[in-house]
Amino acid sequence: MTGNTVVEAKNLVKRFGNLQAVNGISFQVQEGEAFGFLGPNGAGKTSTMRMIQCVSPKTSGELRVFGMDTEEHPREIKLRMGVVPQESNLDPDFTVREGLIQFARYFDIPRHEAAPRADELLAFMALEEKKNSTVEKLSGGMRRRLILARALINHPTLLILDEPTTGLDPQARHLIWEKMRGLVDEGNTILLTTHYMEEAARLCDRIVIMDTGKILVEGRPDELVKAHASEYMVEADTSPDVMQCLKRHQIAFDTYGDKVQIFTRDPKEVTRLLLDECSMDGEVTARPTTLEDVFLKLTGRTLRE
Amino acid sequence: MHLGFPVSYRVWKVWRRNLGSFMRTWKVNFIPPFLEPILYLLALGLGVGSFITEVNGVSYSRFIAPALVSIAVMNAAFFECTYSSYVRMYYQKTFDAMIATPLSIEEVIAGELLWGATRSVIYAVLMFPVLLVFGVIDLPSSFLIFPFAVLAGLLFAALGMCFTAITPSIDGLNYPSFLLITPMFLFSGTFFPLSLLPSFIQVIAFAFLPLAHVVRVIRCFTLNSFSPDVLISLAWVLGATLVLSTISIRLMKKRLIV
Ligand SMILES: Nc1ncnc2c1ncn2[C@@H]1O[C@H](COP(=O)(O)OP(=O)(O)OP(=O)(O)O)[C@@H](O)[C@H]1O
Ligand SMILES: [Mg+2]
Q: Whose CA is nearest to atom 27 of ligand 1?
A: A41
> Chain A closest CA to B93's CA: distance in Å?
5
The predicted-structure confidence for B31-44, as pLDDT tens digits, reads as follows 887 888 888 888 88
When pLDDT is cut at 50, 70 and 90, the band that residue A188 belongs to is: very high
Q: Which ligand is nearest to the CA of A195?
A: 1
CA B101 to centroid of ligand 2, rounded, Å:
20
Ligand 1, pocket-test mutation among A14, A19, A50, A162, most atoms within 8 A of CB: A19
The predicted-structure confidence for A93-124, as pLDDT tens digits, reads as follows 999 999 999 999 999 999 999 999 999 999 99
Strand pairing category for A189-193 and A214-219 = unpaired
Closest CA to A148 of A166, A161, A133: A161
CA A49 to centroid of ligand 1, rounded, Å:
11
A71, A78, A87 member nearest B102 (Cβ): A78
Using the predicted structure, report yes or no on whether residue A282 has a pLDDT greater than 80: no
Write the DSSP symbol of residue B87: I
Ligand 1, pocket-test mutation among A12, A25, A46, A163, most atoms within 8 A of CB: A46
What distance in Å separates the CA atoms of residue A26 and residue A64, rounded to the nearest whole number? Answer: 11
Q: Which ligand 1 atom minimizes the distance to the CA of A48?
A: 18
Determine whether A76 is exposed, middle or buried from the number of CB atoms within 10 Å of its CB (0-12, 13-18, 19+). middle
Can you spell out the DSSP letters for A287-300? EE--HHHHHHHHH-
pLDDT recorded at residue B1: 35
The predicted-structure confidence for B38-61, as pLDDT tens digits, reads as follows 888 888 888 888 888 888 889 999
Using a 6 Å CB cutoff, which residues line ligand 1? Answer: A 16, 19, 21, 39, 41-47, 86; B 258
Which residues lie below 8 Å from residue B156, measured CB to CB, with a gap of 6+? B73, B74, B76, B77, B78, B81, B116, B120, B210
SS3 A253: coil
All residue ranges of chain B with pLDDT < 70 are: 1-5
pLDDT recorded at residue B116: 98
pLDDT recorded at residue A261: 86
List CB-based neighbours of ion ligand 2 within 5 Å.
A 45-46, 86
Closest CA to B161 of B199, B106, B237, B202: B106
What distance in Å separates the CA atoms of residue A86 and residue A89, rounded to the nearest whole number? Answer: 9
pLDDT averaged over every residue in chain A: 91
Using the predicted structure, report yes or no on whether residue A51 has a pLDDT greater than 90: yes
Phi, psi of A48 (to 5 degrees): -65, -45
> Among A153-157, A193-197, A223-227, B119-123, which stretch is predicted with the lowest mean pLDDT?
A223-227
Q: Please state, as a whole number, how many other Cβ atoms lie within 10 Å of the Cβ of residue A11.
A: 13
ipTM value for the complex: 0.89
Using the predicted structure, report yes or no on whether residue A284 has a pLDDT greater than 90: no
Contacts of residues B228-236 at CB distance under 8 Å and 24 or more positions apart, as own/partner, are B236/B206, B236/B210
CA A137 to centroid of ligand 1, rounded, Å:
29
What distance in Å separates the CA atoms of residue B252 and residue A202, rounded to the nearest whole number? Answer: 41
The predicted-structure confidence for A262-275, as pLDDT tens digits, reads as follows 888 888 888 888 88
When pLDDT is cut at 50, 70 and 90, the band that residue A285 belongs to is: confident
Closest CA to A74 of B95, B2, B252: B2
Q: Are A92 and B92 inside 8 Å of each other by CB? A: yes
A290 versus A47: the higher-pLDDT residue is: A47
> Which residues on A lie below 8 Å from B96 (Cβ)?
55, 85, 89
When pLDDT is cut at 50, 70 and 90, the band that residue A1 belongs to is: very low
B20, B94, B100 member nearest A55 (Cβ): B100
State the average pLDDT over residues A276-304: 81
CA A48: distance to chain centroid? 12
> Best residue in A14, A68, A75 to probe B by mutation, most B CBs within 10 Å?
A75
A89 versus A235: the higher-pLDDT residue is: A89
Q: Which ligand is nearest to the CA of A37?
A: 1
